[in-house]
Amino acid sequence: MTATASTVRAWGAHAADRPLEPLVITRRAPGAHDVVIDIAYCGICHSDIHQVRSEWAGTLYPCVPGHEIVGRVAAVGAQVTRHRVGDLVGVGCLVDSCRHCPECEAGLENYCDHPVYTYNGPTADPPGHTLGGYSQRIVVDERYVLRIRHPEAQLAAVAPLLCAGITTYSPLRHWGAGPGKTVGVVGIGGLGHMGLKLARALGAQVVAFTTSESKRQAALALGAHEVVVSRDAAAMAAQAKRFDLILDTVAAPHDLDALLACLKRDGQLVLVGAPATPHPSPNVFNLLLKRRGIHGSAIGGIPETQEMLDFCAAHGITADIERIRADQINEAYERMLQGDVKYRFVIDMATV
Stretch that binds Zn ion, among 53-61, 90-98, 288-296, 326-334 (CB under 5 A): 90-98
Choice from 18, 33, 50, 114 touching ligand NAP (CB under 6 A): 50
Q: Report 238-257 residues binding ligand NAP (CB under 6 A).
A: 249-252
Pairing of strands 94-96, 205-210: unpaired
Residue 283, Cα to own-chain centre: how many angstroms? 29
**Is residue 259 at the binding interface for Zn ion, with CB under 5 A as the rule?**
no
**Is residue 308 at the binding interface for Zn ion, with CB under 5 A as the rule?**
no
**Is residue 212 at the binding interface for ligand NAP, with CB under 6 A as the rule?**
yes
Letters for 152-191 (x = contact with ligand NAP by CB under 6 A, - = none) are: -----------x---x-------------------xxxxx
70 within 8 A of 40, measured Cβ to Cβ: yes
**Is residue 215 at the binding interface for ligand NAP, with CB under 6 A as the rule?**
yes
Stretch that binds ligand NAP, among 44-52, 84-92, 238-246, 279-287 (CB under 6 A): 44-52
Q: Give the dihedral sign, CA 279/211/224/233.
A: positive
**Is residue 112 at the binding interface for ligand NAP, with CB under 6 A as the rule?**
no
The partner in contact with residue 101, picked from ligand NAP, Zn ion, none with C-beta cut-offs of 5 to 8 angstroms by kind, is Zn ion
Judged by beta carbon, residue 118 or residue 182, the one nearer ligand NAP is 118
Residues 6+ apart with CB under 8 A from 57: none
Stretch that binds Zn ion, among 41-49, 153-161, 252-260, 302-310 (CB under 5 A): 41-49
Pairwise CA distance, residues 30 & 1, whole Å: 9
How many residues make contact with Zn ion (CB under 5 A)?
8
Neighbours of 288 (CB within 10 A): 9
**Is residue 45 at the binding interface for ligand NAP, with CB under 6 A as the rule?**
yes
Shortest spacing between CB 48 and Zn ion, in angstroms:
7
DSSP per residue, 76-121: E-TT--S--TT-EEEE-SEEE--SSSHHHHTT-GGG-SS-EETTT-
Stretch that binds ligand NAP, among 10-18, 131-139, 206-214, 281-289 (CB under 6 A): 206-214
Identify which of 108, 109, 107 has the alpha carbon closest to the alpha carbon of residue 98. 109
Residues 6+ apart with CB under 8 A from 95: 116, 117, 118, 121, 130, 138, 140, 141, 144
Residues 6+ apart with CB under 8 A from 312: 150, 158, 161, 165, 198, 318
Neighbours of 2 (CB within 10 A): 7
Choice from 29, 60, 75, 98 touching Zn ion (CB under 5 A): 98
The partner in contact with residue 104, picked from Zn ion, ligand NAP, none with C-beta cut-offs of 5 to 8 angstroms by kind, is Zn ion
Q: Residue 323's beta-bridge partner residues?
A: 346
Stretch that binds ligand NAP, among 82-90, 96-104, 121-129, 208-216 (CB under 6 A): 208-216
The partner in contact with residue 273, picked from ligand NAP, Zn ion, none with C-beta cut-offs of 5 to 8 angstroms by kind, is ligand NAP
Pairwise CA distance, residues 116 & 333, whole Å: 25
Residue 298 buriedness (CB in 10 A; 0-12 / 13-18 / 19+): middle
**Residues engaged in binding ligand NAP (CB under 6 A):** 45-47, 50, 163, 167, 187-192, 210-212, 215, 249-252, 272-275, 297-299, 336, 339
**Residues engaged in binding Zn ion (CB under 5 A):** 45, 47, 97-98, 101, 104, 112, 163
